[in-house]
């Protein structure tokens, strides 16, 4: 049925292949691979010859129709990487150097960009250089060197720069900020560097990574540069910023977005203040602390904090003190209803993202430089955020509450 409508070209190719197989019967998969490689080589050689014929205006040895001072000038050999293994092709040259191959571009060494896409995909999933090399050798019989992988992945760097500078929306409902740490080689030493990540939720409830910034020390000056960067990219206002007590952040955000409300992550506060509590006392202490942060109102929360301090101050005096010292930024969420509270009282949104980044980067104990770190994080980010489709399921309720609380700052 399928062959009834077969084109003359396909029919001719079928007959030619049949004749070839009579002369060269195939025994196994390797024979098929070899035949496909040879056929591909012939097709590419023929296509390039045809391109040069078109360029010069006459075919080989057809001097009667020659109407140009340009002419053929031999061949240059080129090794191409293909799914069937490496193959050598002959790229024809012209004497005047005007011919630019189109089928196989000047610096192209794969038949399609498929190989590069595979390498980028494997790199994004955290595969090491040696894993990628082994994979290509096993599947395609192709040797891919470290330098080739680096060259391919380095093509991402200009894209990363463009992504870091892309325009943003004018208003974000919530922006989460957090840091994740990696070891990077710098001037012959291995140092610990932080990558600061900003994730925003816009007024449609859509989540996106706004930026990733490699830095050494948290400071108001560092955060000020990030805040100014967001503003320069079009952000005019952020309703609520959620952070993990980042050093210097409150001053920086107040300087650039003075109306933004700050919510310090409750989960981080709990972890930081209970890490030295005795295992035997952890359960009852946490039950008392929960009465503070899960209270229905701020007034009740402060009463529960008094009770907590009275019970635990003899053994753990620093816990209640830390909560009081940070209360201004810890208590923001009390003014909001349940749906908004759940969204802002922890930085779970960004912590989940960071966990996925760590999973991808766990095979890299040390990055050779900042660029190497940034390109892997960018590729991993693209892979992770493919699943970020649609808005939060409870966004309708959250949006209606935000419109009431921030009526003057949300355009109609």
HSE, CB side, 13 Å, CA atoms: give it for residue 225. Answer: 10
Q: Identify the pLDDT of residue 1.
A: 47
- How many percent of the chain have pLDDT more than 90? 35
At residue 110 the predicted structure's pLDDT band, cuts being 50, 70 and 90, is low
Residue 132 and residue 143: Cα distance in Å, rounded?
10
Mean pLDDT value of segment 212-225: 80
Cα dihedral 267, 273, 276, 279, rounded to 10, equals -50
At residue 173 the predicted structure's pLDDT band, cuts being 50, 70 and 90, is very high
| Coil, helix or strand at residue 41 | helix
Residue 106 has pLDDT above 60, yes or no: yes
**Among positive and negative, which fits the CA dihedral 217, 160, 81, 77?**
negative
Mean pLDDT value of segment 286-304: 96
Residue 349 and residue 176: Cα distance in Å, rounded?
8
At residue 2 the predicted structure's pLDDT band, cuts being 50, 70 and 90, is low
Contact 307, 290 (CB under 8 A): no
Nearest to 175 by CA among 350, 356, 393, 354: 350
Q: Model-level pTM?
A: 0.70
Residue 113 has pLDDT above 70, yes or no: no
Residue 239 has pLDDT above 90, yes or no: yes
Residue 291 and residue 20: Cα distance in Å, rounded?
82
Q: What is the mean pLDDT of the chain?
A: 84
Mean pLDDT value of segment 255-265: 93
Q: Identify the pLDDT of residue 227.
A: 92
pLDDT tens digit string along 15-50? Answer: 777 777 777 787 776 777 777 777 777 777 777 887
Q: Which residues pair with 184 in a beta bridge?
A: 191, 367
pLDDT tens digit string along 50-81? Answer: 778 888 887 777 766 777 888 888 888 888 77
Domain boundaries along the sequence of the chain: 2-111, 113-154, 169-405
Q: Identify the pLDDT of residue 308.
A: 96
List, in sequence order, every beta strand (DSSP E) within 230-375: 237-243, 261-264
- How many percent of the chain have pLDDT more than 70? 89
* H helix and E strand count, the chain: 17, 7
pLDDT tens digit string along 130-146? Answer: 777 777 766 656 666 77
Residue 342 and residue 116: Cα distance in Å, rounded?
42
Contact 274, 289 (CB under 8 A): yes
Q: Identify the pLDDT of residue 14.
A: 72
Q: Identify the pLDDT of residue 142.
A: 62
| Coil, helix or strand at residue 184 | strand
Q: Which pair of tokens denotes residue 255?
A: 């300087």
At residue 412 the predicted structure's pLDDT band, cuts being 50, 70 and 90, is confident
Return left, alpha or beta for 408; rule: phi > 0 is left, psi -120 to 50 is alpha, else beta: alpha
At residue 349 the predicted structure's pLDDT band, cuts being 50, 70 and 90, is confident
Q: Identify the pLDDT of residue 212.
A: 93
At residue 393 the predicted structure's pLDDT band, cuts being 50, 70 and 90, is confident
At residue 219 the predicted structure's pLDDT band, cuts being 50, 70 and 90, is confident
| More confident position, 204 or 219 | 204
């Amino acid at each position: 049925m399928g062959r009834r409508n077969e084109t003359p070209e396909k029919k001719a190719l079928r007959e030619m292949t049949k004749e070839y197989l009579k002369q060269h019967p195939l025994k196994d998969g390797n024979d098929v691979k070899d035949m496909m490689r040879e056929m591909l080589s012939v097709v590419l050689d023929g296509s390039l010859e045809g391109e040069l014929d078109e360029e010069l205006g006459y075919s080989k040895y057809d001097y009667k129709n020659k109407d140009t001072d340009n002419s053929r000038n031999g061949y240059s050999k080129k090794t191409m990487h293909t799914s069937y293994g490496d193959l050598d092709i002959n790229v024809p040259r012209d004497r005047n150097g005007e011919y630019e191959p189109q089928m196989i571009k000047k610096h192209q060494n794969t038949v399609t960009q498929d190989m590069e896409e595979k390498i980028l995909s494997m790199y994004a999933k955290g595969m090491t250089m040696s894993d990628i090399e082994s994979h290509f050798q096993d599947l395609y019989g192709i040797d891919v060197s470290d330098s080739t992988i680096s060259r391919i992945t380095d093509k991402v760097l200009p894209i990363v720069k463009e992504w870091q500078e892309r325009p943003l929306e004018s208003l974000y409902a919530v922006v989460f900020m957090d840091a994740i740490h990696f070891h990077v080689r710098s001037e012959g030493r291995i140092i610990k560097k932080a990558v600061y990540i900003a994730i925003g939720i816009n007024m449609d409830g859509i989540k996106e990574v706004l930026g990733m910034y490699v830095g050494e020390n948290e400071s108001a000056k560092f955060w000020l540069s990030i805040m100014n960067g967001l503003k320069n990219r079009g952000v005019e206002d952020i309703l609520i910023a959620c952070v993990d007590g980042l050093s210097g952040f409150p001053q920086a955000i107040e300087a650039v977005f003075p109306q933004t409300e700050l919510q310090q992550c409750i989960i981080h506060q709990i972890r930081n203040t209970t890490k030295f509590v005795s295992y035997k006392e952890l359960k009852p202490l946490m039950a008392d602390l929960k009465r503070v942060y899960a209270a229905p109102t701020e007034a009740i929360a402060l009463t529960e904090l008094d009770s907590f301090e009275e019970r635990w101050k003899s053994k753990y005096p620093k816990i209640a003190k830390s909560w009081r010292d940070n209360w201004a930024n810890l208590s923001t969420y009390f003014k909001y209803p349940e749906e908004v509270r759940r969204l802002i009282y922890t930085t779970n949104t960004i912590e989940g993202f960071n966990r996925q980044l760590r999973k991808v980067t766990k095979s890299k104990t040390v990055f050779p430089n900042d660029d190497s770190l940034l390109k892997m994080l960018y590729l991993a980010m693209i892979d992770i955020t493919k699943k970020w489709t649609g808005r939060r399921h409870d966004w309708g309720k959250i949006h209606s509450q935000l419109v009431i609380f921030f009526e003057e700052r949300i355009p109609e």
